[in-house]
Homo-oligomer: A and B are copies of this chain.
Amino acid sequence: MMNGTNPMDVFLSKCRQRNLKITPQRTAVFSALADAEDHPSADAVYQKVKKEFPNISFDTVNRTLIVFSEIGLAEVVEGQGDPRRFDPRMENHHHFYCVTCGKITDFFSEELDKIEIPTQIEQDFTVISKRMVLKGYCTDCRK
């Protein structure tokens, strides 16, 4: 028996826990995502998986990725995608993002503003802004 700590075993056990069928398509989407280093979009995963499954549909890939994010196999990360959200506050501040209603709440914290960016990052990249992004449930949604 395998010990369940390698990614594929995690995938299998999460699917079984939730009564999700282990289909070749799901397995292929999982592998493609697990190998990705670049926070791919659904379309990027689709392009990869299509090499192995020429007949797979975009919808299947997209649905599968959303399922993965619901069962803890992946996370939807913040991006600058559509619909864009505009913020008129140009002072440094931080965000709380409610995963239920999508509302973004500003907050200010001198302590957070003071945080140093790791030296390695400062060397490799030119940083123009830093922001702490918290995710969770807002007052209205946590009831």
Note all chain B residues with C-beta closer than 8 A to A68: 86
Which single member of B42, B85, B88 contacts A79 (CB below 8 Å)? Answer: B85
Chain A residues within 8 Å of B, Cβ to Cβ = 7, 33-34, 36, 38-43, 45, 65-66, 68-69, 72-90, 95-99, 102-105, 107, 109, 111-112, 115-118, 120-121, 124-139, 142
Contact assessment for A39 and B136 in the assembled complex, using a CB-CB cutoff below 8 Å: no
Q: A41-B84, A74-B87, A102-B80 are in contact. Are A134 and B111 (CB under 8 A)?
A: no
Note all chain B residues with C-beta closer than 8 A to A130: 132-135
Inter-chain CA distance A125–B114, complex, in Å, is: 23
Note all chain B residues with C-beta closer than 8 A to A95: 77-78
Inter-chain CA distance A38–B139, complex, in Å, is: 15
Beta-carbon nearest neighbor of A83 in chain B:
B41
Inter-chain CA distance A117–B125, complex, in Å, is: 26
